[in-house]
Amino acid sequence: MIGGFEMLIRMALACLLSGVIGIEREKHRHPAGLRTHILVCIGSTLVLICNIYLFELYKYQANVDPARLGAQVISGIGFLGAGTIIKEGISVKGLTTAASLWAVACIGIAIGIGYYTAAILATSFVLIALMIFSKFEYLFYSTKNHKALTRLKIVIIEEHLETIGTKMKEIGFEIITMKTERLSEGKMFVRICVLQSKVAGIVDIITSINKITGIESVEVCE
């Protein structure tokens, strides 16, 4: 049986490892942040601890599968991941956060069975994927397509959000990523990453995009 101190270690490690991943999501203002990731990981850790307890309790009396509840965690976390995926205008957000929730559930399972090395390594690689690989995505897009990559901060009128992507493409800009935030008075603050079909200076970029109906201001991110 797992003792009280060992159980405490597993719960604390689940909180710590998932919290680190959750902070990264919270920092970028994603739907599932610090608390959600911690709860998912602690829950999956508890499920595996309970599964081990049941196995030790009934292994001589019944045919008990020590991995059965863990399998249900892996398949069942999908409903929570689906809840973080949002379609807003032309943008679909939350896919990476949904994947990180599934990953912390798996990390919780590893902690629950006491496989600490795997849990710590998995956490390290998840953080690398979230914090570092995103920069390589931008580099890949610009290198593969031989186009210039630009990050923009835009304030738009909300009712024009659906048409922004089409209009930007017409003038030579392809939207790669988009993150939106509602402001007051029917306006939205949008962070986007765009590919330019032709190399242009910052002034030309701002001038071109400012001509699109519904855009109130454009600023190029550093």
Q: How confident is the model at residue 100 (pLDDT cuts 50, 70, 90)?
A: confident
Confidence at residue 120, expressed as pLDDT on a 0 to 100 scale:
93
Residues 6+ apart with CB under 8 A from 51: 66, 67, 68, 69, 70, 112
Helix (H) or strand (E) segment spanning residue 42: helix 34-58
The yes/no answer on whether domain 138-220 falls in CATH 3.40.1010.20 is no
Q: Which amino acid is at 21?
A: I
Boundaries of every domain in the chain: 4-131, 138-220
Q: Is the pLDDT of residue 193 over 50?
A: yes
For helices 34-58 and 68-76, angle between their N-to-C axes, nearest 10 degrees: 160
Question: Per this entry, what is the length of the chain?
Answer: 222
Burial of 154 (0-12, 13-18, 19+ CB in 10 A): buried
**Global pTM value:** 0.60
Burial of 61 (0-12, 13-18, 19+ CB in 10 A): exposed
Average pLDDT over residues 72-100: 70
